[in-house]
Each structure stands twice: as C-alpha cells, then as structure tokens.
Structure 1
C-alpha cells in the first residue's frame, strides 16, 4: 500500500459502527479486570472518545488545510521554517504512542500559507495509525503538492513507546527522520541552511 492508498482507504459504515464501548469492556475483562468496578465504569466511554480524537486525521483533507494566499508572497522568496511543532501519534504495529516534534521548512514560489497551517498539517497525518517514516513523507509531499513551493524540508524527532515500554526497552532513544523535496534535494547550500535551522 503506497502513501496515497493509505490516505484514501476508509472502512465501511458497518465496520466503523461495529466496534464500541462494549468491546472496550470486553478488552478490560480479557485483561483480567472487572469493567464494572468504580475506577473502570466510565473507562470504555472515555477510551472510545479518546481514540476518535487520536484518529481524527482520517477525516481531514490536507488540500483544505493548505489554502494559500498570495498577498506579500511575491516579495519573499527565502526559506520559511517553523520548529518544535508537536507530534503525537500511534504506531500501527502495536498501537503504542510515539511523540516528539517536527520542523517544516519551505521556499515559497509566489504563494505562502499561514504558519498555523503547518501545525494543522502535522496533526492531519499524525492523528492516524502511523510509522514515522511515512508520516514524514506525507507531510512533505502534501506541502509540495498543494502549495507548490520551490523546496520543502521536513525533520521529525520522536520517542516511541513500543521501544521504550516493551521489547528492547530502550528508554530515551530518539528516532530522527527527514524528507527533502524540490530544490532542497539538489542544492547543498539550501539543504545545509534548513538542516542547521532544524537542529534543536
């Protein structure tokens, strides 16, 4: 399944409605808990609501998020970089959280977007079941496709709970991924400038 197929796929109405609070109650019982005890009585409802939020990116369209405007853009053709964009997602292998920050940079080509749109773009793709590598590419490709800048750079740094809380239990390790598109891929100077600005 390629990046675009991952974005387009949607479950059937029956599949979406076939899983609910009663299934979370069954999971609690399967884990050896009493889903009726006071501390857990409302947990299925809370978890159902939480997962709707954590996966709300499937209902978002990056094309609508990245509406550009030209006012002032024709006078600016240097690199624009936004750092420390929060990333909260869940890995598709264990449904475990991974979290960190993203840095996004682009060189406008007659169009610019509001800076908050870059944060919303990250939310659009991170609020899905993900792997960090694909998340990085999806953010970069969406920006290149819908804004058509001269260059795009994305760097994401995350800690993965599937590594820290289970398996190898490597506490504190950070995974860094990057995507460079357009002129940034071929221009050493532009690439170096972006990567220098992307450093913590």
Structure 2
C-alpha cells in the first residue's frame, strides 16, 4: 500500500471528490458568508483562482513519497558519514484553520550502503508539506518514510516554522517558531551524533 493511500482519510476516496464546479461554488458561499458579493468585478474570478491555488497548495496528496525515494545509488566510494540538507523551505497549511505554516526543515541520515539524490530530500518535505498538516505529524512522516525506504543507520530531522493560525488570529503572537524533532537509529541512541546534528544545522 502506498503512503498516499495510507495517509489520506478513508473517507477521501476519488469517487467522493467533489467536482471543480462544486469547489468553486463552495468558495462563493464562503465569500458571501464573509460579507462580500462574489458577483462583483474584483471577486467574480476568485473561485476559479482559489481552486487552482488549492491544486498547488495541496498537490502532496497526489504524490507517492516512497516512489520519490525509490531510486538510490550505491557507488559512493565507501562514504559512511552524515548526509544532511539544512534550511529546506517548508510551506504547509494547518489542518485546524487552513492557515499557512511557513518555515524550514533540516534533514540528515547516516547511509547504510546507499544514498538518494539530494533533491529528493527537498521533494519529500514538499510532498508532506503540501497537505493539511499538524507539524508534529509531518515531522514524523518525513523521518519515518526515510527510515522505511532507505533503511539507513539513522535519521535526524528538525522542523521549525511559524504558524499563521497563531500569528494572524487568536493570540496574535508574531515571530514565534514551533520546533519539532525526530531521531531514529544511531541518532537516537548516540548523544554525540545527536549533538553533531544540531551543530551542523547551527543550533
């Protein structure tokens, strides 16, 4: 079973997916509920634009994270140290308010005979980011997928992001980042490796 099928709600089957016309009508309803007229000049094309934006913002539902990592390389001349990408831009939306989550992810793994193209780590962040998310769950999904597909000696990930549901509504606290981590294998068992990870990402 693919990650996509597992992560999606059992109620979100393709045959239940509303049409684009229904999605656009829902946007018109929200515009009316907000107190404006969806028929006025500045808003008349907004429902179609929102539907297209949703296709981009939530494109992660249509991608298989395991497939992205499926092509690996073993010709690494015996390389056996940490592979790390830091400051990977993250753009997501919280599942509670559908407000933006903007931040960055730092991902490291210790290979066990095979590596993956570095761009695939950034793709992995996009796939899980472009879904309705809770940051804690997203952090675990990224780490667990790397662990399951690459079978490395260990994985380390840190995500730091500002949640617009907290900065633009509610308590209105700006500039506050939420930080989440996940460590597996040697990164979890060896405090020196965990410390090295934080040093490499500048923490």
Structure 1 length-normalised TM: 0.93
Mapped partners of 1:69, 1:142: distance in 2: 14
Q: Contact 1:83–1:198 (CA<8 Å) still a contact in 2?
A: yes
Structure 2: tracts of 5 or more residues without a match: none
For residue 116 of structure 1, the aligned residue among 96, 119, 137 is 119
Structure 1: distance between partners of 2:24 and 2:34 = 16
More moved, 73-82 vs 170-179: 73-82
Inter-partner Cα distance in structure 2 for 1:33 and 1:108: 55
User: Following superposition of structure 1 onto structure 2, how do residues 67-78 of structure 1 map, counting pairs within 5 Å?
Assistant: 67-73=70-76, 75-78=78-81
In 2, Cα distance between equivalents of 1:49 and 1:68: 31
1:102 matched residue in structure 2: 105
Q: More deviation in 74-83 or 6-15?
A: 6-15
CA contact (8 A) 2:90 2:102 kept: yes
CA contact under 8 A between 2:4 and 2:64: conserved in structure 1? Answer: no
1:9 CA displacement: 2.8
Shift of 1:53: 1.4
Say whether 1:16 aligns with 2:2.
no
Tell whether the 8 Å contact from 1:163 to 1:169 is kept in structure 2 after alignment: yes
Report if aligned partners of 2:4, 2:61 keep a CA contact under 8 Å in 1.
Answer: no
- The answer to whether 1:192 aligns with 2:195 is yes
2-side partners of 1:22 and 1:56: how far apart?
21
- Greater CA deviation, 68-77 or 4-13? 4-13
Distance 1:12 1:66 in 2: 25
| 2:124 equivalent to 1:125 | no
Flag structure 1 segments of 5+ consecutive residues without an equivalent. none
Offset from partner CA, 1:130-150 (integer Å, 9 cap, x none): 010011010000000001110
Structure 1 stretch displaced more, 142-151 or 31-40: 31-40
After TM superposition, list the pairs within 5 Å mapping 1:136-155 onto structure 2: 136-155=139-158
Report the TM-score when normalising by structure 2. Answer: 0.92
**Which stretch shifts more, 10-19 or 126-135?**
10-19
The whole-number CA distance in structure 2 between the counterparts of 1:137 and 1:171 is 26
| Contact 2:91-2:130 within 8 A present in 1 as well | yes
Q: Does 2:138 correspond to 1:135?
A: yes
